[in-house]
A and B are shown apart, each in its own frame.
Chain A
Amino acid sequence: MTISLTEAPFDPGALLTAFTRGRSETGAVATFTGIARAEQGATAVLELEAYPGFTEAAIGKIADEARGRWALHDVAILHRVGRIGPGEPIVFVATAAGHRRAAFEACDFLMDYLKSRAPFWKKEHGPDGERWIEPTAQDHADRERWG
């Protein structure tokens, strides 16, 4: 299992290739890549702040919960921090399992928790100034689907 934060842009394709390599018993790998939206020009830059150490530990607990719920062979989560431009990947989640259902569901679960519970502070910089963002009602509703 790998959980990491990076200030540098990343290539989701290269991450998927590395994550998939060398598996002979894994029948399914599911991935999710989140990309920073421009919001029709309203967001020029997204600024994401984490608490190094604390943030990875909190994400690790979410990943452990996923491993308790589904029979996963592996999990990888990479999250950008710092300043992120529109169109740049911001998060990559990959799950590996024997069969597809566990891989799909665990990936979905991980994203719902990351979007609503992970210790990040996110600020949008746009032409009208800057504003801090909190999870939306939809983000909370998405997480509550998992009980």
Chain B
Amino acid sequence: MARVLLFGPLRDLAGWRERQIEADSLSALRIVLAAEDADLGEAIGGPGVQVAIDQAVVRGDAALTADSEVAFLPPMSGG
């Protein structure tokens, strides 16, 4: 069970900001999200969307544990 966070336009697209989702890897999480919401599934794989696990940016796949926090970060606006 990972805590999934969406920011910026991704949150508007999905209609939620935070959810608990069962997945043991980032790739499995992407599949679960895409199966529920195809638009979101496509958007989180889009260019410029970074993923942070426990506040550290990761590239490629990664394992998730019960208390992982997974954040999908669309292109940043700057301050």
Binding site for B on A (CB under 8 A): 34, 48-49, 51, 53-54, 57, 79, 90-91, 114-123, 132-135, 139
The contact string, 1 if C-beta is below 8 Å from chain A, for chain B 36-74, is: 000000000000000010010000000000000001011
Binding site for A on B (CB under 8 A): 5, 7-9, 11-12, 52, 55, 71, 73-79
Residues of B within 8 A of A57 (CB): 55
Query: Which residue of chain A has the shortest Cβ distance to B52 in the bound complex?
Result: A54
In the complex, are the beta carbons of B5 and A51 less than 8 A apart? yes
User: In whole angstroms, what is the CA distance A90 to B5 when docked?
Assistant: 24
User: In whole angstroms, what is the CA distance A54 to B73 when docked?
Assistant: 11
Residues of A within 8 A of B9 (CB): 121, 132
User: In whole angstroms, what is the CA distance A135 to B76 when docked?
Assistant: 8
Residues of A within 8 A of B76 (CB): 117-121, 134-135
Residues of B within 8 A of A49 (CB): 7-8, 11
Q: Closest 4 CB pairs between A and B?
A: A121-B8, A122-B77, A114-B79, A115-B78
16 pairs of residues in contact across A and B, judged by CB atoms under 8 Å: A34-B79, A48-B77, A49-B7, A51-B5, A51-B55, A51-B71, A54-B55, A91-B79, A114-B79, A118-B76, A121-B77, A122-B77, A132-B9, A132-B12, A132-B77, A134-B75
